[in-house]
Amino acid sequence: MCLGVPGQVIEVLDPANHLVSVEMGGVRRPVNVACILTEDRPIDRCVGDWVLVHVGFALERLDEDEAQETLALLAQLELVDEVPV
């Protein structure tokens, strides 16, 4: 089963390699955002964005309500320990 987990971009780690730090369930992990970068939304404008993360890659941007709803559902299924606020 493949599962994407919502997380929030906290900081840019390595712009040349498209790496940011994403917080998911209270844990920060490096994530590659190359798949979601556009001319209108370069890496330096990703901080604060909610993204759907799968195996270390951000697959798409989410609005905060959608991210929180998904995290709540995952918590109900006990797939995540903590829902970030």
pLDDT of residue 42: 97
Neighbours of 63 (CB within 10 A): 10
Query: Is the Cα dihedral 15, 12, 27, 85 positive or negative?
Result: negative
- Per-residue pLDDT of 31-46, as tens digits, reads 999 999 999 999 999 9
Is 70 among the domain residues? yes
**Can you give the residue range of the structural domain that contains 65?**
5-76
Give residue-wise pLDDT tens across range 12-69: 999 999 999 999 988 999 999 999 999 999 999 999 999 999 999 999 999 999 999 9
CATH code of the domain containing 59: 2.30.30.140
Domain count, the chain: 1
Q: Is residue 26 part of a domain?
A: yes
Q: Is residue 49 part of a domain?
A: yes
